Structure formats: structure tokens, C-alpha cells
Structure 1
Amino acid sequence: MWDYTDKVMELFYNPKNQGLLEDDREPGIAVVFGEVGSIACGDALRLHLKIEVNSDKILDSRFQTFGCTSAIASSSALTELIKGLTLDEALKVTNKEIADFLGGLPEAKMHCSVMGQEALEAAIYKYRGIPLAVHEEDEGALVCSCFGISESKIRRVIRENNLTTAEQVTSYVKAGGGCGSCLADIDDLIAAVQRERVVGVQVATGIAATKESQRPLTNVQKIALIQKVLDEEVRPLLIADGGDVELYDVDGDRVQVTLQGACGSCSSSTATLKVAIEAKLQERVNQNLLVEAV
């Protein structure tokens, strides 16, 4: 016995919006349906939509489902979720939202929520005159020949649901649930999606870091960075030659320093200011900085 939530059982015994929608040829109203699955494979769903043409809004939705408790409850949940949405808003409804509406589904039954998402897309693409055969979800090499599941479909369900095992993929889209010869390929796709996710995080982190580095420094940050560069990169060189430098003040892009020791009485102190100090601060802090001795 599956561990179903009360919401699943409620919509199984008393499903909302079950049945079909008749096309009464109302002006400005379109009625369309999309269907997925097959009775031979165990589950089939036909989803009906009543659409207000001018606003692209879903006025009503009904379903006809052949399948288990989860399939009927998921279909009913979907019709409740999409009423009142525009078609573009409805396309953003995920199988996870359907499962969440039900309070969760057993993992082995998650394919029922995926079936609802696919039927919704099928109906909307049909209404918009977009053949499902050219939709990106159906492109790509066939991975599971038993259930006709493509690589792009498996990648999508892995990404959207953070799946990590072939068994989970089977639960969500049935791929691998037949002869099992594609399980190794599914493992490879999981690994590929995980690599893509890692690269995506690294790229996003790099972009964020770049944006952060492009922000202008506050005056406090600028003074702190100037002091850091002086202490770590300039002073050690000067001290090695018997000299030293101390930060005196920062006024906008003017950096005032005092030269000490051998640097204070050196005839080449101007070169020290411009080459050893100013050039380094321009490189590490801001190219507009000017250094002068006080």
C-alpha cells in the first residue's frame, strides 16, 4: 500500500474537474486538449483547456485520466493550479508544484506529476500551432526505447528535480524501467548534468566576484587597501635599502606619504615616489592615484 497523503486520497475519491470540455464555439473562446502516455504503458492523460483568446487566459480546465491513484490526483491538482493563469504562466508550472499541491507523492509515483506537466505543454503547443515533434523536449537522441524517452527529457527531469540516481529517473519518467539496458546511459546523463551545474555555479560566482570587484571603493576601503599595499609590497623593499614610508593622508586621488630613513634624504626620492610607490598603488588600487611627499 502506497503511503499517500490525505490530499491525494481526497482528489482520488472526489476528483475535481474530471471530464471533458465541449467546444460551444463561443466567440473569443478556444477549447483545446493535449494528451500524453498510453494505456499500454499503464497511464494516459488527456487535459482540456478553455482559453480566452484575447488575454491568453485559461478560464477552465478538465481532465480524463486512465491510471492509478497518483495519476488521477495529479491531474486534478493540475487543473486547479492552472485555472486563471495565462498560457505563459501555466507553462512555468512544474511537476514539483503539482506534487507539492498534493502534499507530496511517493518517489515511485512522481512520473504521474511529470505526465501532468507534459499534457499541459502538449495542449498549449497544440493551441499555438507548434508541433510537439519540433519542441525542444522531444529533440535529441532516444535513450530509453522501451518507453520512448529522449535524452533532452531525461536531462530536464534531472535538472528540475535534482535527481542523483538512475532509479529516481525511472520513478519520474519511467526511463530504464523496461529492459534496463539504458541505465548506464542514464547514469552518464546524471553525471553530465551535475558537471554542468558545478560549472554554472562557478561561472555565476565568477560573475558576482567580477561585479563586486568593479564597484568603486569607499574611502575607508581605499585607505585600508593603500595601507595594505604599502605594508606588504612597498615598505619591505624600502626597508631593505635603509628607508621606509608612512601613509600620512588620503584626499580623493591624492595620497600623501612621508619618506623616512635613507629615503627621506635620498637624491632619488622623487623616483622612489613615482616608481616604487605611485606605480604600485596605481596598479593595485586605482590608476588615477597620485602620490606626493609631505
Structure 2
Amino acid sequence: MWDYSDTVKEHFFNPRNAGAVADSNAIGEVGSLSCGDALRLTLKVDPASETILDAGFQTFGCGSAIASSSALTEIIKGMTLDQALKVSNQDIADYLDGLPPEKMHCSVMGREALQSAVANYRGEVWSDDHAEGAMICKCFAVDEVLIEETIRANSLSSVEEVSNYTKAGGGCSACHEGIETILARVLTEQGRSFQPSAPPAKAPERQRVAIGMPLMPKRDQTSAPAEQPSASATVVAAVATAPPAISASVAPPPGSAALAAASPAATSPAAATANKAESGAKARPQLSNLARIRRIEQTIESIRPNLQRDHGDIELIDVDGKNVFVKMVGACSGCQLAAVTLEGIQERICEDLGELVRVLPEQAMAFAQRA
């Protein structure tokens, strides 16, 4: 449970300046409703002095987003636009007597909304000051320059801190290596040392095979017959060699280049998949059908907290051969970036399993069954 200050609670239960300013002449918008965080800031600016006479906000998000927006409007009222632009996300957090580390991105969103509103008033096109940066986090559309700027402005030193301030790396975690590269470069320039985080420990095996499936006792791997696993855990082996019924982009796990080099003669998708699966089997012990499904579920369970933090979630629906069907829930269900989130989750599952699979939304089950 996050520890909120009394000031945060006060601005959440009694937000200041909530709603749009009726006669505003500056509007700033950041975030996305479909991704669970959005802020619209409206200002009334005196044309003669560029002083902010009034400010209002409309936000869609968590309590920290409401409190941060409320605090921002209180801070900037009476300031000139140039003075307001000097307000940092840390100033917003300090005004609230601190924010939980996991919620610092709410104050960053407030600062960006202010920059957008000032640009709108001056007839400029706000480009985040980092529009040309390489995309690092596809789940939340966070690029390299924003990450670097936030690291420098807030003296960040870990992937977890970057995620708290920008949300980058808070989804599938496929971008953690890229974030570490940026951290190492910036900290070296500042004369600081970067210590990469240790990989997270594997979650313990759970009895439940998949969401919606009955609880099943563990089978004795040494004595159980290999012929017929439980029907609810059956994986259709024929799908592994059949041509894929649905076109999907499979993000290759680390080391997949070596697998491809080991089978240069494979020319068809089915042959390539079979050869890579065979090479992967040599690298690690072959999992039983039940253990394979459990491994997939464990990977998804390790990702869920990051999605839940932003009002989304994911559920495992079924595993059918090389197809893993999932259901996007909450903010994730209508998110414009759901496809790239699935791609990142697919990469994680491929890495944990040591084989290529496809992660597909539950809507694709009907097409796969007809194929």
C-alpha cells in the first residue's frame, strides 16, 4: 500500500480548480484516455503581462494525478508564463509533501501539460522537446530523449526510478536493457557509477494451470504416463508444424539469431519454427505440457502488477500449441498500444520458454479454431 501525505489526500478529496476555465485562452493536453492517464489544463492569461489569472484542470487517472493537477494549478496562478515554465515536476511533488515513487510520473505529466498550454497560447506547436528521440518503451510510447531528460532533471539511477517517473519499462519490461544503456551513459557523464539491477527472481510455481481452469494437483514427473495429459492442459502438437493461420509479428527472443544460423536451409515459416524449436530444446530440458502452461502463466503473472498499476490487466485464456490466447482487461482493453504490449509480452514468454510462440487476443480464437 502506498503511503500518501496528508497534503496529497487533501488535494484528492478537495481538489482545487477542478474543471475547465470558462474563458480560457490557453489549453494543454497530454496523455491518453485509452492508456489510463490523461490531463487537460486550461489557463486564463492576461495578454498584456502574460500573467496566469486562472487555471483549471480535467484529468482521467489515479488519485495522485488528481492531486498533482490540483497542486499545479495552485502553484502557477499569479505567475507569468516564463515563471510557470520553470516549475519542475519535483516542485509539484514538494508542494504535496512528496509523492510515492511509483506515482512520480503524475507530476511529470502535469509539467508537460503546462508546457503544452503555454505553447498553445503563444501559437506554437508543442513537440514535447523530445519528438525526435528513438522510441524506447513501446508500451507507453516513451522515447530516449524524454528518459534522458528525466534522469538528468531528477538524478535517477535505476530502471525502477525511470519507470516511476516516466512509466517507461512499466509494461512488458522488454525495454529495460535500453533504459539501462541510457542510465549508464548519463551517469558516466555525471561521474556517477551505474549498477544494473539483478534480474527478478522467478515466481514460485502455482497449482492453477490457467485462468478459468480448475485447480489441479501436481503430477509426478518421474512416474506419470506420457501418453495423455489432462484434457484442460492438452497442447495440440500439430499446431507446432502447421502453417500459422493468423499473420502475427513474432519478436525473437535473445539468442534467436544463433538458432536461425543453425538451420539455414529452412525457407518456410513452418520449417523455421520447427528448426528453432528443435534447437531450443537442445539448449534446455523439454518441458511437459503441464509445466509449459505453468511457465506461461508465471510469466504473465509477473507482468500483471505493472499493468494493474495503470488500471489495466491481462488474463490467460488458453494455450493451444504455439498460440497463447489472452484477454486484455481495463485500460488495456481499448488502449491504442495494446498490440505493442502484446508483442512485448510475447517476447518475454518466448524467452522464458525457449521457443517461439504467438500471443494473441482472445478475439483471434475463433479464427484459429476454423483454420
Q: Which amino acid aligns with 1:70?
A: S
Q: Answer whether contact 1:107 1:171 (CA < 8 A) is retained.
A: yes
Separation of aligned partners in 2, 1:128 and 1:65: 23
- Which runs of structure 2 are paired with 1:134-283 in the superposition (5 Å)? 135-198=128-191
Other-structure match for 2:235: none
- Tell me the residue number matched to 1:119: 113
Higher strand share: 1
1:129, CA displacement in angstroms?
Answer: 2.0
The Cα of 1:196 is off from its aligned counterpart by: 2.1
Contact 1:95 1:114 in 2 (8 A): yes
Which protein has the larger Cα radius of gyration, Structure 1 or Structure 2? 1
1:40 aligns with 2:34: yes
Cross-structure match for 1:49: 43
SS of 2:191's partner is helix
The residue type paired with residue 71 of structure 2 is: A
What's the CA shift string for 1:133-159, capped at 9, x where partnerless?
3x5232211111111111110011101
Q: Deviations over 1:156-189 (max 9, x none)?
A: 1101111101111111110111221111110111
Contact 1:47 1:61 survives alignment (8 Å): yes
Amino acid at match of 1:4: Y
Residue 18 of structure 2 aligns with which residue? Answer: 18
1:113-135 Cα shifts (integer Å, max 9, x gaps) = 111001001111111222123x5
TM-score normalised per structure 1: 0.63
CA contact (8 A) 1:111 1:172 kept: yes
Q: Which residue of structure 2 lines up, in the alignment, with residue 202 of structure 1?
A: none
Q: What residue identity is the alignment partner of 2:18?
A: Q
Pairs within 5 Å for 1:54-73 = 54-73=48-67
What are the Cα deviations for residues 241-290 of structure 1, in whole angstroms up to 9, with x where unaligned?
xxxxxxxxxxxxxxxxxxxxxxxxxxxxxxxxxxxxxxxxxxxxxxxxxx
**Shift, 1:197, TM fit:** 1.8
Structure-2 residue corresponding to 1:257? none
Point out the structure with the larger helix share: 1
Confirm or deny: 8 A CA contact 1:34 1:123 kept in the other structure: yes
Of the candidates 105, 108, 117, which is equivalent to residue 102 of structure 2? 108
Report what 2:320 is aligned to: none
Take 2:19 and 2:132, find their aligned partners in 1: how far apart are those partners? 32
Instruction: Answer whether contact 1:132 1:138 (CA < 8 A) is retained.
Output: no
For normalisation by structure 2, the TM-score amounts to 0.50
Structure 2 residue matching 1:105: 3-state secondary structure: coil
2:85 to 88, 91, 97: 91
* Secondary structure at 2:25 match in 1: strand
Could you say which residue in structure 2 is the equivalent of 1:245? Answer: none
Query: Match of 2:173, SS?
Result: coil
| Aligned equivalent of 2:72, options 67, 71, 78 | 78
**Shift of the alpha carbon at 1:85?**
0.8
Unpaired runs of 5+ residues, structure 2, are 193-371
Kindly indicate whether the alpha-carbon contact (under 8 Å) linking 1:22 and 1:31 is maintained by their aligned counterparts in 2.
no
**How far 1:91 moved relative to its partner?**
0.7
The Cα offsets for residues 37-86 of structure 1, whole Å up to 9 and x where unpaired, read as 11222211101111011111111100001111100000000000101111
SS in 2 for 1:194: helix
Larger relative contact order (CA 8 Å, sep ≥ 6): 2
Measure, in 2, the Cα distance between the counterparts of 1:165 and 1:116: 23
For residue 104 of structure 1, give the secondary structure of its aligned residue in structure 2. Answer: coil
Q: Identity, % of aligned pairs?
A: 56
1:19 CA displacement: 0.5
One-letter amino acid matched to 1:186: I
Unaligned runs of 5+ in 1: 24-29, 200-294
Residue of structure 1 in register with 2:300 after alignment: none
- Distance, in Å, in 1 between the alignment partners of 2:53 and 2:94 is 23
Which residue type is aligned with residue 177 of structure 1? G
